Amino acid sequence: MNLTLKVWRQQNAKAPGSFIRYQVKDVTPDMSFLETLDALNEDLIGRQEAPVAFDHDCREGICGSCGFLINGVAHGGQRGTTVCQLAMRFFKDGDTLTLEPWRARAFPVIRDLIVNRSAFDRIIQAGGFISAPTGSAPDANSTLVAKENADTAFDAAACIGCGACVAACPNASAMLFTSAKITHLNSLPQGQPQRDQRTLSMIATMGNEFFGSCTNHGECEVVCPKQIPLEFIGKMNRDLIRAVWHKHREPLVMPSIVQLPSAEDAHEQSHEGVPAQP
């Protein structure tokens, strides 16, 4: 197969970017999309041109490093597949494919197809954990977990944090990502003590990081390589209502959570991003 790739090239976060057209020859159907980029890069090095920078690591669809838009579709369009596992048999000889990085204000471009997704880590820091200091755990079988709940928790925990959901959303919303972690932990008995706090803090942080809100387009679910279902967003919203209506001894959103997301964007921050307490 011979393909034309139009690739977004951008030297660094501050430089302007543009699409550059490349021809890739002798692509075989068994090659993965990233192996096609490897071949392009070998070719570019041969011509003394800078290779295309892209994040990747495990190439088994589990580390969540890779991802970009192919013809506007996050991870290229095969259901439940990351670009590292997307075989070229999915495309046709002569295709022209446009590659660009995730587009979201919360994910600034670092170089070419690489973006900065550390906003996801900050959402996790806000409450995407169960506090369990090492050594303090009771026997594993002392906590019974109904299989149904364990399976729901697992389905949600399968998220790899790649960011495709944000890239696919017209609002650049991180609600699929956030709801996956909230569903994982809130479905388990171990997650109950911090349940309301977790829900409120993570949702507040999502706003602080300039992710948009969900308006039920459902694009996120379609591109999610782990097929995290949209219903988890509904679950998260029910948990939000629960958290807001519960009477608590003191306000639950920790002050440290309401922080400036990133230095460059700090001066533009104007909204509170904290749900009102009843």
Partner 1 sequence: MLEARIPSGPIEQKWDKCRYDMKLVNPANRRKHSIIMVGSGLAGAAAAATLGRQGYHVHCFSYHDTPRRAHSIAAQGGINAAKNYRNDGDSVLRLFKDTVKGGDFRSREANVYRLAEVSSNIIDQCVAQGVPFAREYGGLLDNRSFGGVQVERTFYARGQTGQQLLLGAYQALEEQIANGRVTMHFRCELLDVVIVDGRARGIVTRDLVTGQLECHAADVVVLATGGYSNVFYFSTNAKASNCTAVWRAHRRGALFANPCFTQIHPTCIPLSSENQSKLTLMSESLRNDGRVWVPKKKGETRVARDIPENERDYYLESRYPSFGNLVPRDVASRNAKEVCDEGRGVGPHGQGVYLDFADAIHRLGLQTVREKYGNLFDIYQRITGEDAYEVPMRIYPAPHYTMGGLWVDYHLMSTIPGLFVGGEANFSDHGANRLGASALMQGLADGYFVLPATVPNYLASAKLDPVEISDSAFKATEAEVKDRINKLLAINGKRSPDSFHKELGKIVWDHCGMARSDGGLREALARIPEIREEFWKNLRIVGTGEELNQSLEKANRISDFLELAELMCADALHRAESCGGHFRVESQTADGEAKRDDENFAYSAAWEWKGAGQAPALYKEPLTFEYVPLSQRSYK
Q: Indicate which single residue of 92, 136, 268, 276 sits in contact with partner 1 (rule: CB under 8 A).
A: 136
Q: Indicate which single residue of 91, 120, 211, 232 sits in contact with partner 1 (rule: CB under 8 A).
A: 120
89 binds partner 1 (CB under 8 A): yes
The answer to whether the beta carbons of residues 238 and 244 sit under 8 Å apart is: no
Which one of 131-139, 165-173, 233-241, 263-271 is the stretch in contact with partner 1 (CB under 8 A)?
A: 131-139
212 binds partner 1 (CB under 8 A): no
Q: Rounded to the nearest whole angstrom, what is the least distance from the CB of residue 38 to partner 1 in the complex?
A: 6
Placement of tokens 């920790």 in the chain = 254
Q: Indicate which single residue of 16, 92, 94, 135 sits in contact with partner 1 (rule: CB under 8 A).
A: 135
83 binds partner 1 (CB under 8 A): no
31 binds partner 1 (CB under 8 A): yes
264 binds partner 1 (CB under 8 A): no
CA proximity to 174, closest of 183, 164, 184: 164
d(CA 200, CA 272): 13
Q: Indicate which single residue of 67, 81, 175, 228 sits in contact with partner 1 (rule: CB under 8 A).
A: 81
Q: Indicate which single residue of 1, 73, 87, 274 sits in contact with partner 1 (rule: CB under 8 A).
A: 87
Q: Indicate which single residue of 1, 6, 38, 262 sits in contact with partner 1 (rule: CB under 8 A).
A: 38
Q: Indicate which single residue of 1, 6, 59, 98 sits in contact with partner 1 (rule: CB under 8 A).
A: 59
Q: Rounded to the nearest whole angstrom, what is the least distance from the CB of residue 278 to partner 1 in the complex?
A: 26
d(CA 156, CA 183): 6
Comparing CB distances to partner 1, the nearer of 169 and 182 is 182
Q: Rounded to the nearest whole angstrom, what is the least distance from the CB of residue 110 to partner 1 in the complex?
A: 6
Q: Rounded to the nearest whole angstrom, what is the least distance from the CB of residue 232 to partner 1 in the complex?
A: 14
- In b/e form, how buried is each residue of 26-46, taking b as 16+ CB within 10 angstroms? ebeeebbbbbbbbbbbeeeee
d(CA 189, CA 185): 8
208 binds partner 1 (CB under 8 A): no
Q: In this structure, what token pair is assigned to residue 255?
A: 């002050």
d(CA 20, CA 190): 51
Q: In this structure, what token pair is assigned to residue 33?
A: 């999309």
Q: In this structure, what token pair is assigned to residue 54?
A: 């892209």
Secondary structure (3-state) at 4: strand
117 binds partner 1 (CB under 8 A): yes
The answer to whether the beta carbons of residues 21 and 32 sit under 8 Å apart is: no
d(CA 183, CA 154): 9
d(CA 226, CA 76): 14
34 binds partner 1 (CB under 8 A): yes
Q: Indicate which single residue of 94, 256, 268, 270 sits in contact with partner 1 (rule: CB under 8 A).
A: 256
Q: Rounded to the nearest whole angstrom, what is the least distance from the CB of residue 215 to partner 1 in the complex?
A: 27
Secondary structure (3-state) at 8: strand
- Residues 6-25 binding partner 1 (CB under 8 A) are 11-12
Which one of 67-75, 82-90, 94-102, 242-250 is the stretch in contact with partner 1 (CB under 8 A)?
A: 82-90
Establish how many alpha carbons lie within 13 A of residue 40's alpha carbon, considering only the half-sphere containing its beta carbon.
23
Establish how many alpha carbons lie within 13 A of residue 75's alpha carbon, considering only the half-sphere containing its beta carbon.
30
